[in-house]
Structure 1
Amino acid sequence: MLAMEYQLAKAKVNLALHVVSRRKNGFHELDSLVCFPNFGDKIICRKNSVPYLSISGNFKRNVPKANNIIIKTLRKIPLANRNMSVHLEKNIPVSAGLGGGSADSAAVIRAYKNLWGEVLIAERDTFTLGADVPVCIDSSFQRMKGIGEDVKKLKSTLSFYLLLVNSGDPISTKEVFLNLKFSNNPKLENLTSFRNMKDLVLYLKRQRNDLETAAFSINSNLEETKAYIGAQKGCKLARLSGSGGTIFGIFDNKIEAFEAYQKVKQEKFFWWVCCSPVSLANSRYDIAT
């Protein structure tokens, strides 16, 4: 058996997010198209070690120390196997609509399986840790429905670049949903095979993020950021990811994507900015952060 396991906890980006209903218990049902850029937090799990969690990275100060999602995940480990330490390099902004906590939880679950050769928690039950954990388990191009528990892998050979920007203002998911005016919106249009980037972009332009209006009412700067990113040369679509506050821009050209990255870094030097490739078939390319 392995003694150490490395996992990349990829950031989650909601290319489209529709709020389609609200359950009696108050939870909202979603219909979302999700992809994962080749960027994220880094997780190292060590077997036969003193059990503890250590944290480094640019956003380590924003991670709760006492009751974070990694601690919740580790509590699922049987007592006999709790001799595992976890190191988290926190690169994904917190409360940014990028599913960083859920990605970390999913990475620990994958690492545990590789280290011990057994499943820590059934995939269908991982949503009890966090709504985005099920979709983060595989971290591939997927459609996510319900309250996060219903995920379906999608096939595509397309690749493109995402420009991710965050001004540093955290957005409370709870507050966004409290400000949501309409909860019974149409589902995503039926998915077709995206033959090229034009097909994908045209499809996404007909979809929405139903949380944008609520998020913009909480922080009007987000709307300005969306317009700013959408105006960059080569940007095919700009949108809020999840409940915010990260705005993404889609580029089908590597040169234009990295030129936009450099321009934003120079003009908005206090923002967090990342340019990362996305392969819907999950290959790897260069990243700039």
Structure 2
Amino acid sequence: MRETAYAKINLALHVRSRREDGYHELETLFAFVDAGDELTARSASIDTLTVTGEFASQLSDPFGNLVAQALSRLPRPNGLAITLEKKLPVAAGLGGGSADAGAVFRLVREAHGLPDDWRERAARLGADVPACVESVACIGRGTGTDLEPVENDLAGTAVLLVNPRVPLATGPVFAAWDGQDRGPLPEGAASGVAGEGRNDLEAAAISLCPPVAEVLSTLAGTGADLVRMSGSGATCFATYRRHGVMHEAAEKLASDHPRWWQMQGKLR
């Protein structure tokens, strides 16, 4: 069996308040790119995990990552031997580990079905995991686990992901948020929510990782319709009306900034 762990991006991310439990009240528009990490699985007597790919070395404890944790929380009559090809950078605002876990849920669903409480099991793994299981555009509230459907009029839109190859942990970025509530997520279809929305963590991320500002500025000069940071960074994205314009932008960025990581795709 094969599954793609689709890269998650936040087309908008509004941080409303700090919670007493240490988390934050969020309102976000999740979207997913048709590319990401790749997982292959086969039946086995016990669960095993092999990690390969460009960013495999960034997973210092492969058996403690979300793939292994997802496997341990899903009942099955037999094990799965999984190979994870890590194509997405780690600590990058793309929900890489959550996307990997979501792909495991889909693999188990295909092979054995999921328990009725799978959403609760997914939420216990991480705030982004429930959205990553289905990997379709949706609104997330609360810590991001309370999901609502959204009219997805952005499906098929060309998108370019760019990361300066600087890991940026989520916790410090949220800690650096200024605490100001700038208002709720707009209502309506995905295009309107994205266009009128914002990412309230951009300033905090830039204060910790100045290259984010350079990536945003560079993408803004490529003819994109929308340029924004995803999640807590440091990955930024640009959307384009035409795939040809996106390809040209990607080629220029590869020439001007050869050390930056990038991924081309389209929104699901």
TM-score where L is the length of structure 1: 0.87
Partner of 1:287: none
Question: Structure 2: how far apart are the matches of 1:50 and 1:223?
Answer: 46
- Alpha carbons of structure 1 residues 184 and 203: separation in structure 2 relative to 1, 3 Å: closer
Question: Structure 1: how far apart are the matches of 2:134 and 2:244?
Answer: 29
Matched residues, number: 266
Higher mean displacement: 57-66 or 210-219: 57-66
Partner of 1:285: none
Higher mean displacement: 142-151 or 202-211: 202-211
Partner of 2:148: 152
- Alpha carbons of structure 1 residues 51 and 26: separation in structure 2 relative to 1, 3 Å: closer
- Alpha carbons of structure 1 residues 190 and 75: separation in structure 2 relative to 1, 3 Å: same
What is the SS of the residue equivalent to 2:225? strand
The question of whether the paired residues in 2 share the 8 Å contact of 1:17 and 1:242 is answered with: yes
Alignment of 1:241-280 (within 5 A): 241-278=230-267
Question: Structure 2: how far apart are the matches of 1:42 and 1:265?
Answer: 23
Question: Structure 1: how far apart are the matches of 2:96 and 2:150?
Answer: 22
Runs of at least 5 residues in structure 2 that lack an aligned partner in the other structure: none
Higher mean displacement: 254-263 or 46-55: 46-55
Query: Pick from 228, 231, 256: which aligns with 2:218?
Result: 228
Question: Structure 2: how far apart are the matches of 1:206 and 1:39?
Answer: 26
Partner of 2:27: 31
Question: Structure 2: how far apart are the matches of 1:157 and 1:149?
Answer: 22
CA deviations on 1:228-278 (whole Å, 9 max, x unpaired) are: 11111x211211100000010111111111000111011111111111111
Higher mean displacement: 45-54 or 234-243: 45-54
Higher mean displacement: 155-164 or 25-34: 155-164
Query: Pick from 2, 12, 19: which aligns with 1:6?
Result: 2
Partner of 2:88: 92
Alignment of 1:1-289 (within 5 A): 5-63=1-59, 64-78=61-75, 81-119=77-115, 122-158=118-154, 159-191=156-188, 193=189, 200=191, 203-232=193-222, 234-278=223-267, 282=268
State the Cα distance separating 1:82 from its structure 2 match: 4.5
Aligned-residue identity in percent: 34
State the Cα distance separating 1:205 from its structure 2 match: 3.8
Higher mean displacement: 49-58 or 255-264: 49-58
The question of whether the paired residues in 2 share the 8 Å contact of 1:95 and 1:172 is answered with: yes
Question: Structure 1: how far apart are the matches of 2:53 and 2:116?
Answer: 26
Question: Structure 2: how far apart are the matches of 1:175 and 1:58?
Answer: 25
The question of whether the paired residues in 1 share the 8 Å contact of 2:14 and 2:200 is answered with: yes
Question: Structure 2: how far apart are the matches of 1:139 and 1:117?
Answer: 17
Runs of at least 5 residues in structure 1 that lack an aligned partner in the other structure: 195-199, 283-289
State the Cα distance separating 1:129 from its structure 2 match: 0.2
State the Cα distance separating 1:44 from its structure 2 match: 1.3
TM-score where L is the length of structure 2: 0.93
- Alpha carbons of structure 1 residues 102 and 203: separation in structure 2 relative to 1, 3 Å: closer
Question: Structure 1: how far apart are the matches of 2:157 and 2:206?
Answer: 27
What is the SS of the residue equivalent to 2:22? coil
State the Cα distance separating 1:50 from its structure 2 match: 4.2
The question of whether the paired residues in 2 share the 8 Å contact of 1:36 and 1:139 is answered with: yes
- Alpha carbons of structure 1 residues 77 and 137: separation in structure 2 relative to 1, 3 Å: closer
The question of whether the paired residues in 2 share the 8 Å contact of 1:142 and 1:151 is answered with: yes
Higher mean displacement: 57-66 or 8-17: 57-66
State the Cα distance separating 1:165 from its structure 2 match: 0.5
State the Cα distance separating 1:110 from its structure 2 match: 1.2
The question of whether the paired residues in 2 share the 8 Å contact of 1:241 and 1:248 is answered with: yes
